[in-house]
Structure 1
Amino acid sequence: FSTAGGMMPAVGLAMLLTMMMKKNMWIFLLLGFIMAAFLNVPTVGIALAACAAAGVWDVITEGQKNQPAPAAASAAGSDDDEEYDL
């Protein structure tokens, strides 16, 4: 049990890295680690800050999803292949 208990932090970190190694999410892992390791913020404080950051992130990314995509120009320039939105 002591060997398995010693491996638990490594397993937990590996699970976090597996989930968080997306290009736009690694900063949150880094901020949480800095808050825990260097600023001595308790886990509950980190969880509350993470919930607030997730809410802000959701609002920001949802606003980007609702924006219309720019219209693509026709490369051929022919009138036969044009599409019109009604």
Structure 2
Amino acid sequence: MPMWDEEDEEEAKRQTPKQRLLGWIQNRLPQLPITNFSKDWQSGRALGALVDSCAPGLCPDWDSWNPSRPVENAREAMQQAEEWLGIPQ
């Protein structure tokens, strides 16, 4: 059974769980060029965008976050996710 909409069962069998998760994130965040789980997340902005895509309005200004303040950006996204979505930091 496909886990996500429009997922081809044969395609899903060929992908690793990591590749499938990356594909899901890319579908959630088409405005960001996410291609990995390291460098693309360093500024904290992608995390804010992901939180906002799951619960619109939690991090509405993620695109204006200063990339030179990665810890503050990630902290803001994680605090919102914990407080409003119940996702522990």
Q: TM-score, normalised by structure 2?
A: 0.28
Q: Pick 1 or 2: higher relative contact order, CA cutoff 8 A, min separation 6.
A: 2
Structure 1 or 2, whichever has the larger Rg, is: 1
